[in-house]
Amino acid sequence: MPDLEVTVGGKGFQVSCQPGEEHFLRSAAALLDAEATLAEIAARAEAMAARVEEQA
């Protein structure tokens, strides 16, 4: 059973999959990582907007 390390949200995870499914696991991890990145960007944007409103 192949063991892979994937990164999601800047954190590394050791995961296993069935032989031949490595590509699917890496693709799924890449999608999750992209979602985590977008969520982080959205949270920072909201925080920045709140600071701007406080200053107005």
Q: Read off the pLDDT of residues 26-46 as tens digits, 9 standing for 90 and up.
A: 999 999 999 999 999 999 999
pTM: 0.80
Q: What is the DSSP letter of 18?
A: -
CATH number of the domain where residue 15 is located = 3.30.160
Q: What percent of the chain has pLDDT over 70?
A: 100
Contact indicator for 9, 33 with CB cutoff of 8 Å: yes
Q: What is the domain count for the chain?
A: 1
- Give the rounded percent of residues in the chain with a pLDDT score beyond 90: 93
Domain that holds residue 19: 3-55
CA–CA gap between residue 30 and residue 8 (Å, rounded): 7
Determine the pLDDT at residue 56: 78
Q: What is the mean pLDDT of residues 8-16?
A: 95
Distance separating alpha carbons of residues 19 and 4, to the nearest angstrom: 11
Alpha carbon of residue 42 to chain centroid: 13
Higher per-residue pLDDT: 34 or 53:
34
